[in-house]
Amino acid sequence: MKKIIIAAVIAVVAVAGIAAVVLNSKKDSNKKTSSTSHSGTQGSSSSNGSNGSNSEDMNNMDSSNTASGSSSSSSAGTGSTASPAATDKVSIADFAYTPASITVKKGTSVTWTNEDTSQHTVTIDDGTGPHSQPLNKGDTYTYTFSDAGTYKYHCTFHSNMTGTVIVTE
């Protein structure tokens, strides 16, 4: 009887240990962030902390999506009557960019932060501009706007997600 109790205690301790390792690895993978930076005149990017099979896919992605210094001008307006916010930070939450439209001065670096559990991107509609890799929860993407113009962007995974950056002189 004593041997059965000891075996049961060992089994419980082993299962608890495995559960703790699994929970800690999930917490660690949720804490990892990816920071990608692109400049309108220089294309440098770095990616830290991808999880699972995405790390290989992200390392193999073409990193030549950098701006060449030319501006992308689209017609202004996003269908909203609200004036653009003057900020350099955009939150990605509840399947939306917030604020949806911002105004910055030429040379400003804008940072997007994904706060959703779903992956999102920041992708210029046409021309040269921001083009992020897929962003996991907590990941950030930064792009420096070196030319004045209106830059409309979207999420490649969720076509209803759109935003605009208006760059002034």
pLDDT in tens, 96-149: 999 999 999 999 999 999 999 999 999 999 989 999 999 999 999 999 999 999
The residue segments making up the domain with residue 23 are 1-31
The answer to whether residues 13 and 65 belong to one domain is: no
Whether the predicted model's global pTM rises above the 0.85 cut: no
The answer to whether residues 16 and 87 belong to one domain is: no
The answer to whether residues 27 and 39 belong to one domain is: no
Exposed e or buried b for every residue in 87-118, given b needs 16+ CB within 10 A? eeebbbeeebbebbbbbbeeebebbbbbebee
For the chain, the domain total comes to 2
Distance CA 101, CA 124 (A): 14
The answer to whether residues 107 and 159 belong to one domain is: yes
The answer to whether residues 81 and 99 belong to one domain is: yes
CA angle 26, 27, 28 (to 5 degrees): 90
Give 63's pLDDT tier (boundaries 50, 70, 90). very low
